[in-house]
C-alpha cells in the first residue's frame, strides 16, 4: 500500500510533495516523509511517524525543485520514524509502494557483505542494492536493481548531483503527469488533480526518467517506448466536511444521491453490459471487505432474477484455489478504489481463464477498469472516510441493475423504479432512524453479534465489519440459525445480539435466535421493518423500526441503520471513524 509522489519543475518541490501527500494520505497514515534535492545539490530529508501534517513544520524551509514523498501503511516493520520512507543511502533517496517478497534473502546477502541496515522495512534493500549498482547512470542502476526484486513495487528515486527522478513499476500503480515545464509521478490520479494537463499510465515493467526536458519511458530492457497520454480529468477530492463532524457521517448522508446517480449512470452502460453477458451461464462476484459483502447481496439478485448459479467469493481466496471458470462465466469484480491488489489480480486471473470481466467501481480509470471489458459505475463520488458507507450502498444498486439487465426481466421498468424510490426511502431512514441508545449499549459491551438470514445475513456481515472497524469492539456476523451451533456459548450480560429482520417470510425463524439470546441473559436488539417483530420485542429488546420496502432492496435501509450504529458507537468511544487505527483506504498489497 502506501502513497508515493514525485515532483520536478520550477515550483517549490517541498510544497508540491506535501500537497500530493495530503491527497494520498488515505493510502496509509502510519508515517510520512519527503526528500528534496536542496539548493546546494544535497538531499534534505524529513520523516515522521504519524500523519502527513507532522511534516509541515520541517518542510517549510526546504528550497529545491525536485522531490519525492511517501505516506506509509506499515507492512514490514512497525510504524516509527526509522521505518518511514524515504530510505537514504550513499546520496540516494528512495520511496517504495508494494512488497518485496524476497527481501529477507536479499537483506541477508547484503548484511553478509557488510551492509548496515537502518530500518526493519523490505524497502530498504532496494536503496542498498541501488547504491551498489550505481556507477553514474541512475536509470541503468535502477534497472539492474529491480531485476533482483520479486514482488510488487512502484519506486521513485532521486540522487545527489543528478537533476532527475527515476521511476520503476511492477504491479503497483504509478501515474506520470505532464504539466507546463513541470512533471509529476504519483500513486494515483486524484493526487494530480488540477496539477497537470496530461497523464500517462506506464505498463508493468516500465521505467520512467523525469528531467526538466520531459519524461522518457523505457520498457524492461531499457528500450525507449511511447505510452499513450490522455487528458488529466481527475477532480480533486472536496475536503469540505459540509458541517458534519466526520466524513463518515457526511458520506452516509450522501447514500441517497449515490443510489440516484448510480441508476442514472447505469443507463449509459446497460446495452454494453447486456451484450457482454450474452451466453453467460454462471456469475462469480469477487471483492474484499465491504465490497465482498456487497457481492453477497448482489449474488442473490442474479439468482433471483436470472435463475443462474451465482457465487460470491473473497477475491484474495479466489486467486489461490485454481478456480473453475469457463468462457461462459462472467466475473463481477467489485472495488471502490479499483486498486485493491487481491481484487485486481483475481480479475486478471479470471480474464486469463476466459471469463467476461465486469468491473463495479467508483474509480473509472483504475487498474480494475483497465482489465474489465465493461465497467458498471458506482456514482458515489469520492469517499474519504476509510470505512466504506455510501460506496457499499452504491455497489448494491449497481449489482441490482446489472442483474436486472442480465435477466432482462424488467420490461415494464417496475423493478428499476423500485430502486429509484429507494433513494427517497434511504433519505427518510437517515433522518428518522435512531440508533443512539443501541450504540450506547454496544459501546459498553464486550462483543456484538449481528444476526440475519439470507440477504439480512449478508448485511449482518457488513454491520459487524463496520462496527469493529471504527469502534474496535469485537464483533461477528452470523446466520441467525447458526448461533445455536456454538456461538451461543459467548452470549452473556456483557454481549449484544443485533438481529436484522427484513423478510416477513423468514421473520419467525430469525426471531427464534433473538429469543435464544434473551433466554440466556443476553441483551438483544432488532432492526426490522416487520410490524409483528416490532410488537413482539417491544419492551424486551431494543427495537429499531424501519419502513416497509421490497425485501430485495431492504439492504439499502438496513445498511443505513448498521452504518449509523457503527458511527455513533465510535463517536461515543471517542474513536476517529475516518481514519481507524491500522487501516488505509486503498489496499494495494496482497
Query: Can you say whether residue 93 is alpha, beta or left, with left for phi > 0 and alpha for psi between -120 and 50 degrees?
Result: beta
Q: Which candidate in 2, 44, 200, 549 is catalytic?
A: 2
Burial grade of 136 (CB within 10 A; 0-12, 13-18, 19 or more) = exposed
Q: Are 433 and 426 in contact (CB under 8 A)?
A: no
Could you say which of 37, 157, 201, 291 contacts ligand F6R (CB under 6 A)?
291
**Total binding residues toward ligand F6R, as defined by CB under 6 A:** 15
Question: What is the distance, to the nearest Å, from the Cα of residue 301 to the centroid of all Cα atoms in its chain?
Answer: 24
Cβ proximity to ligand F6R, 124 vs 189, nearer residue: 189
Q: Are 229 and 198 in contact (CB under 8 A)?
A: yes
CA dihedral 285, 342, 339, 79 (to 10 degrees): 140
- How far apart CA 440 and CA 433 sit, in angstroms, is 15
Q: Are 544 and 526 in contact (CB under 8 A)?
A: yes
User: What is each CA distance from 137 to 36, 427, 576, in whole angstroms?
Assistant: 19, 59, 46
φ and ψ at residue 169, rounded to 5 degrees = -145, 135
- How far apart CA 415 and CA 75 sit, in angstroms, is 45
In angstroms, give the least distance from the CB of 369 to ligand F6R: 12
* Residue 290 binds to ligand F6R (criterion: CB under 6 A): yes
In angstroms, give the least distance from the CB of 295 to ligand F6R: 10
* Residue 562 binds to ligand F6R (criterion: CB under 6 A): no
Q: Is the dihedral of CA 391, 396, 397, 401 positive or negative?
A: positive
Q: The C-alpha cell of 185 is what? A: 509521478
Q: What is the 3-state secondary structure (H, E, C) of 234-268?
A: CCCCCCCCCCCCCHHHHHHCCHHHHHHHHHHHHCC
**Cis amide leading into 121 (omega within 30):** no
Site for ligand F6R in 334-353 (CB under 6 A): 335-337, 340, 343
* Residue 475 binds to ligand F6R (criterion: CB under 6 A): no
Cβ proximity to ligand F6R, 340 vs 569, nearer residue: 340
Cβ proximity to ligand F6R, 12 vs 475, nearer residue: 475
Could you say which of 387, 396, 426, 430 contacts ligand F6R (CB under 6 A)?
387
Cβ proximity to ligand F6R, 182 vs 339, nearer residue: 339
CB under 6 A: which stretch of 30-38, 272-280, 317-325, 330-338 binds ligand F6R?
330-338
Q: In the stretch 232-271, what mask flags binding to ligand F6R with x, by CB under 6 A?
A: ----------------------------------------
CB under 6 A: which stretch of 160-168, 208-216, 285-293, 499-507 binds ligand F6R?
285-293
* Residue 288 binds to ligand F6R (criterion: CB under 6 A): yes
Cβ proximity to ligand F6R, 170 vs 588, nearer residue: 588
Q: Are 575 and 470 in contact (CB under 8 A)?
A: yes
Question: Quick check: is 2 catalytic?
Answer: yes
CB under 6 A: which stretch of 118-126, 250-258, 331-339, 515-523 binds ligand F6R?
331-339
CB under 6 A: which stretch of 2-10, 284-292, 472-480, 518-526 binds ligand F6R?
284-292
Cβ proximity to ligand F6R, 92 vs 465, nearer residue: 465
In angstroms, give the least distance from the CB of 359 to ligand F6R: 11
Could you say which of 25, 124, 469, 568 contacts ligand F6R (CB under 6 A)?
469
Q: Are 442 and 467 in contact (CB under 8 A)?
A: yes
Site for ligand F6R in 388-447 (CB under 6 A): 388
Residues with active-site annotation: 2, 585
Query: By the criterion CB under 6 A, which residues form the site for ligand F6R?
Result: 288-291, 335-337, 340, 343, 387-388, 465, 469, 586-587
Amino acid at each position: 500500500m502506501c502513497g508515493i509522489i514525485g515532483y520536478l519543475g520550477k515550483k517549490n518541490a517541498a510544497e508540491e510533495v506535501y500537497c500530493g501527500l495530503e491527497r494520498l494520505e488515505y493510502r496509509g497514515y502510519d508515517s510520512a516523509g519527503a526528500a528534496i534535492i536542496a539548493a546546494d545539490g544535497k538531499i534534505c530529508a524529513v520523516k515522521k511517524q504519524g500523519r502527513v501534517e507532522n511534516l509541515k513544520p520541517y518542510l517549510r524551509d526546504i528550497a529545491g525543485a525536485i522531490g519525492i514523498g511517501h505516506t506509509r501503511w506499515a507492512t514490514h516493520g512497525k510504524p516509527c520514524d526509522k521505518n518511514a520512507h524515504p530510505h537514504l543511502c550513499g546520496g540516494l533517496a528512495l520511496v517504495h509502494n508494494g512488497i518485496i517478497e524476497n527481501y529477507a534473502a536479499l537483506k541477508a546477502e547484503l548484511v553478509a557483505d557488510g551492509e548496515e541496515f537502518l530500518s526493519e522495512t523490505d524497502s530498504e534493500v532496494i536503496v542498498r542494492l541501488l547504491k551498489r549498482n550505481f556507477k553514474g547512470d541512475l536509470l541503468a542502476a535502477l534497472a539492474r536493481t529491480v531485476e533482483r526484486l520479486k514482488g510488487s513495487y512502484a519506486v521513485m528515486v532521486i540522487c545527489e548531483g543528478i537533476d532527475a527522478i527515476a521511476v520503476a513499476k511492477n504491479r503497483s500503480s504509478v501515474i506520470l503527469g505532464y504539466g507546463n515545464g513541470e512533471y509529476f509521478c504519483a500513486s494515483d490520479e486524484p493526487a494530480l488533480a488540477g496539477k497537470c494537463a496530461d497523464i500517462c499510465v506506464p505498463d508493468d515493467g516500465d521505467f520512467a526518467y523525469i528531467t526538466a526536458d520531459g519524461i522518457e519511458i523505457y520498457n524492461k530492457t531499457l528500450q525507449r517506448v511511447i505510452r499513450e497520454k490522455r487528458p488529466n480529468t481527475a477532480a480533486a477530492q472536496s475536503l469540505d466536511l459540509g458541517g458534519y463532524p466526520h466524513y463518515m457521517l457526511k458520506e452516509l448522508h450522501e447514500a441517497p444521491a449515490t443510489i440516484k446517480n448510480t441508476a442514472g449512470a447505469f443507463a449509459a452502460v446497460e446495452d454494453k453490459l447486456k451484450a457482454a453477458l450474452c451466453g453467460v451461464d454462471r456469475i462469480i462476484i469477487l471483492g474484499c471487505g465491504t465490497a465482498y459483502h456487497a457481492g453477497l447481496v448482489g449474488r442473490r439478485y442474479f439468482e433471483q432474477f436470472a435463475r443462474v448459479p451465482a457465487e460470491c467469493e473473497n477475491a484474495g481466496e479466489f486467486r489461490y484455489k485454481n478456480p473453475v471458470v469457463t468462457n461462459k462465466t462472467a466475473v463481477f469484480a467489485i472495488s471502490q478504489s479499483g486498486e485493491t491488489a487481491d481484487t485486481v489480480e483475481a480479475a486478471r486471473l479470471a480474464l486469463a481463464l476466459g471469463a467476461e470481466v465486469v468491473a463495479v467501481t467508483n474509480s473509472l480509470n483504475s487498474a480494475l477498469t483497465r482489465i474489465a471489458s465493461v465497467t458498471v459505475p458506482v456514482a458515489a463520488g469520492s469517499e474519504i472516510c476509510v470505512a466504506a458507507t455510501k460506496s457499499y450502498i452504491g455497489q448494491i444498486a449497481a449489482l441490482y441493475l446489472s442483474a436486472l439487465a442480465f435477466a432482462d426481466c424488467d420490461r415494464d421498468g417496475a423493478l428499476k423504479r423500485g430502486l429509484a424510490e429507494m433513494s427517497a426511502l434511504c433519505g427518510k431512514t437517515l433522518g428518522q432512524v435512531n440508533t443512539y441508545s443501541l450504540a450506547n449499549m454496544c459501546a459498553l459491551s464486550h462483543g456484538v453479534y449481528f444476526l440475519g438470514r439470507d440477504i439480512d445475513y449478508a448485511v449482518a456481515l457488513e454491520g459487524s465489519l463496520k462496527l469493529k472497524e471504527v469502534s474496535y469492539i469485537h464483533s461477528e456476523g452470523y446466520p441467525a440459525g447458526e448461533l445455536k451451533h456454538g456461538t451461543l456459548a459467548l452470549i452473556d450480560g456483557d454481549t449484544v445480539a443485533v438481529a436484522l429482520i427484513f423478510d416477513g417470510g423468514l421473520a419467525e425463524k430469525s426471531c427464534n435466535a433473538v429469543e435464544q439470546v434473551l433466554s440466556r441473559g443476553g441483551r438483544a436488539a432488532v432492526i426490522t421493518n416487520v410490524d409483528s417483530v416490532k410488537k413482539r420485542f417491544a419492551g424486551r429488546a431494543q427495537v429499531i423500526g424501519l419502513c416497509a420496502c421490497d425485501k430485495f432492496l431492504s439492504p439499502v435501509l438496513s445498511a443505513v441503520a448498521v452504518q449509523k450504529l457503527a458511527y455513533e458507537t465510535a463517536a461515543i468511544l471517542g474513536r476517529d471513524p475516518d481514519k481507524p487505527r491500522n487501516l488505509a483506504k486503498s489496499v494495494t498489497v496482497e
